[in-house]
Structure 1
Amino acid sequence: MKLLIRSVFLLLFVISPLNAQEEMRFELSSINFDGNNSIPDKAILSVLRSKETPNGFYQFINKYSSLGAPPEYIDFLLVQTDLESIQALYNANGFFKVTVEYYYSLDSLDKVADLTYLINEGPQAIFGKIKLNGLENFPPYDFWEINERVTIREGQAYSQENVLSSINNVLFYLKSQGYLLSNYDSTLVVKDTLIDRALVDIFFSLGKKYYIDSVEVTMGGPGKDDVSEIMLRDLTGIKDGDIFDVSKLTQAQVRLYRTGLFSYVRIYPGIEGLRDSLVPVNLEGNISMMNDLNPELIMNNIQNAFNFGVGLEYNRKNFFGGARRFSSRAQIYYQDVFSLNLERMFSLVTNSDTVTSGTIELKARVEQPYFLGQPIFASLELSALINKIEYLQVNSYKSKINFEFELPKFTFFNSMNLFYALELNTLTVLRDSPDKPSTSLISAGFGGLLVSTHVDNVIFPTEGSNYSLYIEEGNLLPFLFSKAFTGEYLSLLFLKTQATASYYFSLNSVNDFVFATKFSGGYLPTLSGDKTTVPYIKEFFVGGSNSVRGWASRAFPPQKIAVEDLDETNLPGGRIVVEGSFELRKRFGDLLGAAVFVDWGNTWKEISNMKISEVAVAAGFGFRFYTQIAAFRLDFGFKVYDPYDRTPIPQRRFFDLMQFHFGIGEAF
């Protein structure tokens, strides 16, 4: 009995302090910073182990599920650790004299605590002399290439992140010049606090220069017997005796994936097989089945509108050898899926429906991943397109040969497509009368698209720029042939050009608040023939989810002529376009974001018709949901200035002013 009583008292003695300790815990209500003029709160919070307690709703949900979040309590051991983390963050950004203190307040009634860090930043140091060591054996006549990849410069504000970026740039360049085993050793930063300068010495080990020994192929998978190892070696573009280039390995892996042959592929240097100055390259992968039939759910932003539909695609891989791929596809998709009903589901092929907008597309395509022994991705395509745009039916029948060139990463333009296309474009005005005006034109011509992409993140760019230049001529060869042999040319000769530039500027150090802007202009002059015969599908339009978002796709300028009076001479569209956008983007965590924007633009038939007073302006806001492959967005655009409707905004109906858009990817 005495033993039992002693055990109970001992248990109470142990439990009581624990309960008291539980009762004395204070939820960390807020973490504040005072004096941080150079680094925003969010950047500092990201390096702290202490976290603010979530709101009551999240705590309630967490009690009964795995969702939400539990309460967070103040822990003074973590507070001291976090203080050191703040100092380290400031030191990494050149604030070598920073001092950090903290104070807190406890509310014993509500059991909450507020924590504040007092930061005295001091001056920010700048880079002094920057020296690269260990590269003495690198050819001196090419050393400027290394200096180009060092982004830090004497006199710039010190940043440890920029030092690391420069190191990675130099290493990538060295490994692209044959120095497979080149490595980064260490960095010595001498902090001169008297003059607030940081002297930087970066140490590398260069190693010897390596050349390709051979490409060793190891294949598996159900289709491995249908593919030749020699063909796979040729596809890599890597030749025995070439200087080892890590960037070529990356290009080769992308090229192999694009053939569709592989469910898995990896290409890498065989370090274990090094001998003298030679390195083998290992190619490993699994070959999938040669035939597949795939149903598709279609979501795209063609014609600056969100389209939704279904499709079916057949693929035959290694078509007649050479890693060619034959594919055929049938698709049907609609623009305004929210107003679509079952009765109009298949009305795209009729001439009676003037409400439904959408497309039926049939396409057959042969792809050749390695053309004429060069890394040129070639394709031959035959397609038929039935495009219903309210009161217009636009059909396009096309044969097209396309060449996609691989360009070096560090060139200004890093993507180039050239093509030659033969097209038959027809247009029919859908009106109630038996007489439905129509027009058709055959055109043949060369074209090209140059793209320059230099942004830090494709899904959510925070710095950098994008440029594109599109050029297409129509009927130049027939024109020259006719002039040479008959002396006259009676059809249409045109040239279409469009240039677009986009810029991105981060507005804070954590790169979640961005200003983005876009400018675009296009011109479609007719060099010979009747201007009114320019195919409708070639002309410019504004409005839509990637254009002036206060209007629907192709809805601006508004149609001024009744459908009954439309013919091929007075159709909407323009041969000149000018448009642009300004957008502020804010990202909240990994998944969510928001934006506010101003868009402007218009189209005109002739340069002489252009007027600044006719440039439409729209403004609005939107929400974003980010995934690893794309951003999904919902935008609400409002007509701020309509040059063709001067009715005061307060007198207009709300839904006449607003246009909402669903899109995939950022607007630009």
Structure 2
Amino acid sequence: MNNKFHTYCKYLLASGLVSTIISCSNTRFLKEGQMLYTGAEVKIANDTISKQEKKDLQSALEDNLRPKPNSTFLGLRPKLYFYNIAKEPKKDKGFNYWLKYKVGEKPVLLGDVDREFNKDIIENYSENKGYFNAKATYDTVSKNKRAKVIYTVRPGARYLIDGVKFQKDSTLVNQEIQNLTGKTLLKNGKPFDLDVIKTERERIDNGLKERGFYYFHPDNIIVQADSTVNKNHKVELNVKLKDNTPDLATQQFSIDNVIVFPNYNIQDVKDGKYSIPMNKDSLSKYAFDDIYVIDPQHKFKPKIFDRALYFKKGDLYNRSNHNLTLNRLISLGVFKFVKNEFVTSDSLHHKFDTYYLLTPRQIQSLRLEALGRTNSANYGGGELNLNWTHRNFFRGAEQFKAAIYGAFDFQMGGPKDANNIFRAGTNVQLSIPRIVAPFRFNSSSAFVPRTNITLGYEFQNRTQYYTLNNFTGSFGYVWKENIRKEHELKVIDITLVSPAKVTKLYDSISANNAAMQRVVQEQLIFGPTYSYTYTNTMLPRKNTFYYKGTLDLAGNITGLVTGANAKKGKEKEIFGIPFSQYAKIENDLRFYHKFTEKTSLATRLIAGIAYPYGNSEYIPFSKQFFSGGSNSIRAFRARTLGPGSFDPRTLPEGGFFDQSGDIKLELNAEYRANLYKFLNVAAFVDAGNIWLINSDKDRPGAAFSKDFLNEIAVGAGVGLRLDFSILILRLDLAMPLRVPYYEKGDRWTFDKINFGDPSWRKDNLILNIAIGYPF
């Protein structure tokens, strides 16, 4: 204990010494008369406004002050230190240039601060927030070649809105403005706020754009403020059209003709303008709502544009349909560029033609992918994929994808007859940009709903053990309500697993293990699956969420109709194969909190359960849950953790058997920080396990019980992430902190950690190499 205390004191003393050296050394580089600027502070001198108003005003004012001082880390300025110690480079490259101008940061001096300019910013911002009589002063405090500026603001009382008038006249545009006043953002009793006024002008503009006023602009509206009517710090607002508003902005436009160029070449743009044929008499017209399509080679069926275009002849222009059409054309996936032009066709009656200039993507593509990999189960290998994509398979923007692949994994450093794995297969998918069903499906979403049909086959050979044939097929739909909400319904999802060969070695190993025997049994799984995804992670917010819930129902109706009951010996078959019957639900919830632009916290909770009944006593192996590995609990090798407190060390030596379960609970937390451009670091903690619904005599401790919290595994570690934009290479080094199959009372491993012991490092440090973030 004394040794640890002395060591701690040494580290503390050393870190304090380093902090002092770096802190002092930054000022010794300053020239005579120079002072390092350490920042600004704003003080609010007002007793009439609330503490919250003071806090908000102070924070906003400090954010607006310029320049910002040199960045700090734990009270130090390491970037400034690197700038100071690096020699001035002779060229714009090399180590000195990188250290001084890429890693380092130029000193911000007091002489760089325009205090009068900042004073004006403070007064103007305060007035824009309703403090009309705000006055500011400043003072400079300096010591030891460091200086800070203190600004004192006397904002006075804040003016409140006392009456909002929308000036009336007889014009059509004014009548429409009057119809929008019910949802005004300008409310009596609310503080005067210039930002709210700007937002109100944009709200009115958006409303008018929905009513045909294509050429209107928020700047056409003026909001006059009068503070002289009421002397009790109140202000009256008058909203009106500017006198110099262009006549075109006050006119309501409708759609005349809709013209589509589905083979437009972006290179036809000359002098910033598109070359558009204006002679509609020469255009080939088709019979869908008077839409013209210029497609001499008939590459596209006209029907796809009828589904995607929301403007029809005679419609009043509105921005929603404008944006909706563009988004749906893009989401078809067959066009690389989508451009929209409006050209006046009848100025007297305020009509214009709508042109859609669509540049197709490459219709067909062939891609060959080769990759090597290792995993945390001491396996290495590679994979080869050949993918062919056709983006307009039946001339209706149908996407057809076909792939063939081969992969192998071998035990690194294993015995000569190691249990290696070989996989080869093919899969095809046809994605149709509409709902193919006997009922009509209407969607006003910006995303085109799709019908997906998939077929696949995989040959899997685990040498020395068994060979399996896997057949898959599905038919279903994918549709998005909006950018945040997505639904996927597979009306039928079929999996057929058929063993081709099982070796005598595997038979002997699995003779007394029912779970291993089920791996090579024939399996027929069919039924609907549904998943719902909600995410707002694409929004620029400090806190964002991701949720995906999946429901998998297999053999339910068939089991009910046939009266299947495996527990009572009434197991039913289809084509001589027992079908699976179960209900499975899985939830994946993620929360992201951004501390700064370069630091964040990511957390994830996974909770799932699969319950067999009717024609099944067990969940099929391929549909069970697994734990461990690079995207799960990283301190344990892939698929080796659990179930429950089962000890995998009791398995036959040299064998590799995936551990599976019917219940899964997992929690992950990861702190992420950017060090330099593409280099990111992370510190993480993972916890969780899997369990079985029913007891298994071959795997004692595997069943879920009220003691499940004592069977939670915990791991922690650190990681490097190399973000190269096109891919993220991730290296995570983890170690177990709690092992559920150790004896009770001895499952925490803090007292066993010994980084100096090679044997301990080999058994406990797990390196995960992966592509992308774990969650």
Is 1:362 matched up with 2:426? yes
1:117 paired residue number:
149
Moved more, 172-181 or 448-457: 172-181
Inter-partner Cα distance in structure 2 for 1:318 and 1:513 = 43
| AA in 2 matched with 1:650 | D
Is 1:603 matched up with 2:690? yes
Retained in 2: the 8 A contact 1:98–1:119? no
- 1:563-578 alignment to 2 at 5 Å? 563-564=651-652, 572-578=659-665
Name which of 469, 483, 491 aligns with 2:549.
469
| AA in 2 matched with 1:598 | V
2:6 paired residue number:
none
1:11 paired residue number:
none
Is 1:503 matched up with 2:591? yes
Asked which structure has the greater RCO (Cα within 8 Å, sep 6+), the reply is: 1
1:444/1:77 CA distance change after superposition, 3 Å: closer
1:138/1:396 CA distance change after superposition, 3 Å: farther
| AA in 2 matched with 1:367 | S
C-alpha displacement of 1:516 = 4.0
How many residue pairs get matched? 614
Q: Secondary structure at the match of 2:622?
A: helix
- Once the two structures are aligned, what percentage of the paired residues are identical? 15
Q: Secondary structure at the match of 1:519?
A: strand
**Normalised by the size of structure 1, how large is the TM-score?**
0.72
Inter-partner Cα distance in structure 1 for 2:765 and 2:450 = 43
1:163/1:230 CA distance change after superposition, 3 Å: same
1:461/1:634 CA distance change after superposition, 3 Å: farther
Q: Secondary structure at the match of 1:613?
A: helix
C-alpha displacement of 1:661 = 3.6
Structure (1 or 2) with the larger CA radius of gyration: 2
| AA in 1 matched with 2:555 | N
Inter-partner Cα distance in structure 2 for 1:588 and 1:155 = 48
Retained in 1: the 8 A contact 2:166–2:178? no
Retained in 2: the 8 A contact 1:369–1:378? yes
Inter-partner Cα distance in structure 1 for 2:679 and 2:772 = 13
Is 1:240 matched up with 2:312? yes
1:92/1:296 CA distance change after superposition, 3 Å: farther
Inter-partner Cα distance in structure 2 for 1:42 and 1:581 = 38
Structure 1 stretches lacking a partner, 5+ long: 1-22, 108-112
Inter-partner Cα distance in structure 2 for 1:313 and 1:278 = 47
C-alpha displacement of 1:240 = 0.8
Retained in 1: the 8 A contact 2:375–2:768? no
1:587/1:648 CA distance change after superposition, 3 Å: closer
Cα distance per residue 1:622-642 (max 9 Å; x no partner):
444556677654444442322
C-alpha displacement of 1:81 = 6.8
Q: Secondary structure at the match of 2:521?
A: strand
Retained in 1: the 8 A contact 2:398–2:430? yes
Name which of 512, 515, 521 aligns with 2:607.
521
Is 1:649 matched up with 2:684? no
1:8 paired residue number:
none
Is 1:540 matched up with 2:628? no
2:562 paired residue number:
482
| AA in 2 matched with 1:282 | Y
Inter-partner Cα distance in structure 1 for 2:624 and 2:688 = 15
2:472 paired residue number:
398
1:307/1:637 CA distance change after superposition, 3 Å: farther
| AA in 1 matched with 2:524 | I
2:19 paired residue number:
none
Name which of 484, 487, 499 aligns with 1:416.
487
| AA in 1 matched with 2:138 | E
1:433/1:626 CA distance change after superposition, 3 Å: closer
Moved more, 252-261 or 570-579: 252-261
Inter-partner Cα distance in structure 2 for 1:364 and 1:479 = 30
| AA in 2 matched with 1:378 | T
Inter-partner Cα distance in structure 1 for 2:719 and 2:130 = 38
**Normalised by the size of structure 2, how large is the TM-score?**
0.63
Structure 2 stretches lacking a partner, 5+ long: 1-29, 44-54, 72-79, 168-172, 243-248, 267-294, 443-447, 511-516, 565-569, 574-578, 694-702, 754-759
Cα distance per residue 1:347-389 (max 9 Å; x no partner):
9xxxx65366x86552112221234586421221112245689
1:476/1:594 CA distance change after superposition, 3 Å: same
C-alpha displacement of 1:599 = 2.9
Inter-partner Cα distance in structure 2 for 1:187 and 1:477 = 65
Is 1:215 matched up with 2:258? yes
Inter-partner Cα distance in structure 1 for 2:196 and 2:373 = 37
Q: Secondary structure at the match of 1:228?
A: coil
C-alpha displacement of 1:76 = 2.9
- 1:314-353 alignment to 2 at 5 Å? 314-332=388-406, 353=418
Moved more, 128-137 or 612-621: 128-137
2:82 paired residue number:
55
C-alpha displacement of 1:87 = 3.2
Cα distance per residue 1:306-342 (max 9 Å; x no partner):
9974422112332232222322112456789xx869x
Retained in 2: the 8 A contact 1:94–1:159? yes
1:17 paired residue number:
none
| AA in 1 matched with 2:426 | L
Q: Secondary structure at the match of 1:540?
A: coil
1:659 paired residue number:
766
Retained in 2: the 8 A contact 1:125–1:157? no
Inter-partner Cα distance in structure 2 for 1:208 and 1:415 = 39
Q: Secondary structure at the match of 1:537?
A: helix
Inter-partner Cα distance in structure 2 for 1:197 and 1:635 = 60
1:101 paired residue number:
138
1:639 paired residue number:
736
